[in-house]
Amino acid sequence: MATTHPDKNGFRIQLFAVVVGVVLLIAKFAAFFYTHSNTIFTDALESIVNVLTGCFALYSLHLSSKPKDFDHPYGHGKVEFISAGLEGILIVLAGAGIIVKSSIAFFNPSELEHLDIGIVIIIVSGFVNFGMGMWLVRVGKSNNSMTLKADGQHLKSDAYTSFGIIVGLVLIILTKQNLLDNIVAIIFGLLIIYMGVKLARKSIAGIMDEADEAIIQSIVDNIIAQRKPEWIDVHNLRVIQFGNKLHVDCHVTLPWYFTLEAAHNEIEKIAAIINQQHGQRVEFFIHGDSCVPQSCPICMIEDCKVRQRPFKRKIEWNAEILRHNKKHGSELT
């Protein structure tokens, strides 16, 4: 049976999400023109952001799936962080636009009409966005795609906004206070800005290669679980994400008397351990160091014929120790 390539599968799903987004955009603006509600305008304006960012996400998925080339030796995956950053910026602009329009409406109010029909449209669009968001996040996690996860989270947040807007519209109908329309819209405008800033912050962190603590911890846990005495220490561990690819580099201290072939085999074992958990999406650069006399107090090789100092204690590895750029054991000598 033929299988669908994850990148192509993600592209098709994102394309479907864009088409659905266009349909919801038309429906929400129809509801706005029918009701003249700034609260509904809040939801409609965010749908414009959904469609624009969805289109850019399509392009970024296409670009990030391209193989490495001479000009991009680490691939094109960083474009996914740019996509998420653009989405965050547009969300902030949409929130600001909502606040400006709603503030002006205090001085130039419009008569609200047919809010019941508007509520029905927003309810339907909210459930559709929530379902699409859940789907995109699930596929994004399985394909390790930040673009799909970011777009899915945005659609879910849009759905939460829609459900909150419904509460606001019902409150307007019950109290017959049309000014609440602008107040509710401003509140959700501020919420949208917060979500946009949060997404942009995550994007900048990815572009700046900020350490992803969850990924590092999972790699460290896997190495510790299968630790071997020949791996005297692992240090200077670093992980960089390029789209759905991970670049891992670290230093491994091995016995100085190992042949080049033996050292290479041990390094391959570490690479295989990490790939067991993260699939074949990991690229490695593992530097082999030879042990020194300062390594003896922590070296757990029992039958070492060239030991120069007695064994003192086992160093319990953790993420902090493995990330330090120094060999272990020097503090015991």
21/78: higher pLDDT: 21
65/255: higher pLDDT: 255
Looking at residues 172-191, what average pLDDT do you find? 80
CB 246 within 8 A of CB 240: yes
225/278: higher pLDDT: 225
301: left (phi over 0), alpha (psi -120 to 50) or beta: beta
Give the rounded distance of the alpha carbon of 320 from its chain centre.
Answer: 23
- Give the largest CA-CA distance in the chain: 91
Contacts of 132 (CB under 8 A, 6+ apart): 17, 20, 152, 155
73/2: higher pLDDT: 73
Phi/psi for 298 (5° steps) reads -115, 0
Give the pLDDT of residue 5.
47
CB 242 within 8 A of CB 75: yes
Angle at 300 between CA 307 and CA 321, to 5 degrees: 115
Over residues 205-215, the pLDDT tens digits come to 666 655 577 78
Angle at 4 between CA 283 and CA 275, to 5 degrees: 25
Phi/psi for 281 (5° steps) reads -95, 10
260/328: higher pLDDT: 260
Contacts of 306 (CB under 8 A, 6+ apart): 256, 257
Tell me the pLDDT of the chain averaged across its residues. Answer: 80
Angstrom distance (rounded) from CA 173 to CA 5? 50
CA distances to 33, 219, 226, 323 from 270, rounded to whole Å, are: 61, 10, 9, 16
The domains located in the chain, with CATH, are 6-207 (1.20.1510.10), 213-332 (3.30.70.1350)
Give the pLDDT of residue 89.
83
SS (H, E, C) 282-332: EEEEEEEEECCHHHHHHCCCCCCCCCCCCCCCCCCCCHHHHHCCCCCCHHH
Angstrom distance (rounded) from CA 124 to CA 28? 10
pLDDT level of residue 263 (50, 70, 90 thresholds): very high
Give the pLDDT of residue 258.
93
Hey, what are 10's tokens? 């993600």
Of 212-221, 254-263, 307-316, the poorest mean pLDDT is in: 212-221
SS (H, E, C) 243-271: CCEEEEEEEEEECCCCCHHHHHHHHHHHH
10/269: higher pLDDT: 269
4/158: higher pLDDT: 158
pLDDT level of residue 31 (50, 70, 90 thresholds): confident
CA distances to 191, 229, 252, 253, 255 from 333, rounded to whole Å, are: 56, 19, 20, 17, 18
CB 202 within 8 A of CB 84: yes
Say what the alpha-carbon torsion angle 165, 168, 169, 171 is, to the nearest 10 degrees: 160
Give the pLDDT of residue 243.
61
329/25: higher pLDDT: 25
Gyration radius from the chain CA atoms: 27
